[in-house]
Structure 1
């Protein structure tokens, strides 16, 4: 069975790591897994590079205007070259153009739905089309029950939706204390480090974290903050940090490939998002035995059990966020115990072995129906 995954991404973040780990666990004697990436001339694609290093078969498509008919023609040619049985799409470009291409070559599609960012007018237009095209996929994989509810809310048939959670391999998250990260940031020994990670874009709502940090910094001089990531709001967030008087206490170090070291450096992981599918970064924090403070949105409550492995607050509530962070800052034993509960949970319930079995059953069902 030849399964082609199409992902429009040139870097390796959470969704890309999910794809690579899924490929790693599919038995090669039964599945020919093929990864297709978009690539600009002269700009190597980090996702393709990492996939090829692991020995996976990769094909590339040239990056073109989203309105070019050649997008679809090239996907058709790629599907024929790969002799694909199923196309699995990740993101709006794959879901829209991949679905049209599959109609032309009579191949079923599975659309993996992780959520929507709404970070710009252009993205909002394509995400609107993405929601429409989910109706036409042969099957939709939602990464959380929360995401499934969103998909149901705009009319996709319940019978064509499966929930397959994002997963993690705790063994891949190594050992160590993240001392190098803390040293590079300039965090004093013994201080509490609160870290967030993700795109610097509106749906991640780092602005509320800055406000919560401003209030917490008045009460405590031993708490430091960092948000790892890049995005359209960098300038705005840098100004907000300055206006809050948090220079030297609140860092925006940019995107970091080595999230293991980052998570090992964390005392508390914080995710103040307005919307989420199922956050990979929370799985990563728990894999490193770190407690989480997060907003009660999307699939996040499926991971963060309030009062057990972390604390949940309502979105855009800086006062509650500051209070929750302050509670954990004041209690190192609570941080330790919540982190351990989180690690045990992901070890038992969010494994790639479980995820792979669900995908195997889905692939067989889709091909069986089509054949």
Structure 2
């Protein structure tokens, strides 16, 4: 098949959406499909490269002034139209309903191409970046969902990574056909393994204390501040490892100093994938206090490495973390309950082992190869339905022309 993936976030950008779109494009290309990616360029010129078997077209953009690392392209309408006509994709898959997504959707209608859209966004991810005023955030959330639903209702099909995410769209008025397809995780890469002592030494991680790992963007809605408050209440001598960067990092470091827990918390910043895999394998527990995740790749990767998980009982996290099975849930924002839950599991190594094994069982349903098969089946079905509908319209038009009475000579 010929598949075009349109996204406002793609490597070298860092985050969940860049990982998902990259792995989908590369995975489909490896299965023999022709894949094009349309994405923003970090520089001042449009760029076309073949990357890992994928034709990647990057268009000139500028950084979003209120959201670091997000970029806004300079309306490349004509180049994308030429690309669509030349590539003639069977399906267009939009992952970002903003600039490039809007252009692709608009052009797809004129060129009669079927469009799938995947929702990765919660308005709270952006509203908390724009302002701390809750009244503003509520109005922004309402406007954001109105925009998202208007966009998605013009697509042939809509997907979300979880049932929670799909329910949110339905609650706000989604009418387009829709379904759930997980973001998936590479179980060949993410799996249990021996600890790498060289990585441990390089990051100065202790050998005589349990390691509690958190991996995420350091931003307000991820609620890392709740985890730091919990650290100050722990009975155990756990060592907290924070991997990630973000706009809240300076504030979180100041919080750690204020709580006098600097010796118990490591801010690792950005960690390369290979090192992060090694750190997951030496961790005893994964914690995610976020209140703004529609799935959480970080949690899925931790589960694939056989870790038990402590998670906030918020949004889609309970779809991954089954309370009492592969981890425990705590009330969102409740640092005291979080501290008690961490202590409870660290005191019970056999329970952690059982929960880690259950994580491996649950995450098997999210194997990336399985997910790629689901995408292929959906693409093929929609492309076939779209082609059949076009054929029926052509037949109806021909029949109408034949029935028209001829003019007298």
Q: Is TM-score (shorter-chain normalized) higher than 0.5?
A: yes
3-state SS of 2:333 partner = coil
2:13 aligns with 11
CA RMSD of aligned residues (A): 2.8
- CA–CA distance in structure 1, aligned partners of residues 347 and 41 of structure 2: 48
Q: Report the alpha carbon displacement of residue 357 of structure 1 after superposing the two structures with TM.
A: 2.4
> How many residues are aligned here?
362
2:403 aligns with none
Q: Is residue 363 from structure 1 mapped to residue 365 from structure 2 by the alignment?
A: no
Aligned to 1:115, which of 109, 112, 121? 121
Q: Could you state the TM-score of these two structures normalised by the residue count of structure 2?
A: 0.80
- CA–CA distance in structure 2, aligned partners of residues 44 and 223 of structure 1: 48
Aligned to 2:221, which of 194, 203, 213? 203
- CA–CA distance in structure 2, aligned partners of residues 252 and 131 of structure 1: 38
Q: Is the 8 A contact 2:61 2:74 kept in 1?
A: no
Aligned to 2:92, which of 62, 83, 87? 87
Aligned to 1:59, which of 57, 60, 65? 57
Task: Name which structure has the greater RCO, CA cutoff 8 Å, separation 6+.
Answer: 1
- CA–CA distance in structure 2, aligned partners of residues 296 and 16 of structure 1: 26
Instruction: Tell me: CA distance 1:185–1:353, structure 2 relative to 1, closer, same or farther (3 Å).
Output: closer
Instruction: Tell me: CA distance 1:331–1:179, structure 2 relative to 1, closer, same or farther (3 Å).
Output: farther
Q: Report the alpha carbon displacement of residue 127 of structure 1 after superposing the two structures with TM.
A: 4.5
Q: Is the 8 A contact 1:92 1:127 kept in 2?
A: no
Q: Report the alpha carbon displacement of residue 105 of structure 1 after superposing the two structures with TM.
A: 3.0
Q: Is the 8 A contact 1:72 1:100 kept in 2?
A: no
Q: Is the 8 A contact 2:43 2:60 kept in 1?
A: yes
3-state SS of 1:177 partner = coil
Q: Report the alpha carbon displacement of residue 33 of structure 1 after superposing the two structures with TM.
A: 1.7
Deviates more, 1:96-105 or 1:266-275: 96-105
Larger of the two Rg values belongs to structure: 2
1:26 aligns with 28
Q: Report the alpha carbon displacement of residue 44 of structure 1 after superposing the two structures with TM.
A: 11
> Matches of residues 84-163 of structure 1 in structure 2 within 5 Å?
84-93=89-98, 94-116=100-122, 117-118=125-126, 119-121=128-130, 127-128=144-145, 129-157=147-175, 160-163=177-180
Q: Could you state the TM-score of these two structures normalised by the residue count of structure 1?
A: 0.88
Aligned to 1:35, which of 30, 34, 37? 37
Q: Is residue 336 from structure 1 mapped to residue 353 from structure 2 by the alignment?
A: yes
Aligned to 1:227, which of 208, 233, 242? 242
- CA–CA distance in structure 2, aligned partners of residues 44 and 264 of structure 1: 40
Q: Report the alpha carbon displacement of residue 38 of structure 1 after superposing the two structures with TM.
A: 1.2
3-state SS of 2:233 partner = helix
Q: Is the 8 A contact 1:96 1:130 kept in 2?
A: no
Q: Is the 8 A contact 1:73 1:101 kept in 2?
A: no
Q: Is residue 275 from structure 1 mapped to residue 295 from structure 2 by the alignment?
A: no
Instruction: Tell me: CA distance 1:44–1:269, structure 2 relative to 1, closer, same or farther (3 Å).
Output: farther
Q: Is the 8 A contact 2:29 2:35 kept in 1?
A: no
3-state SS of 2:263 partner = coil
Where does the alignment leave 5 or more consecutive residues of structure 2 unmatched?
A: 65-71, 132-136, 388-409
Q: Is residue 255 from structure 1 mapped to residue 270 from structure 2 by the alignment?
A: yes
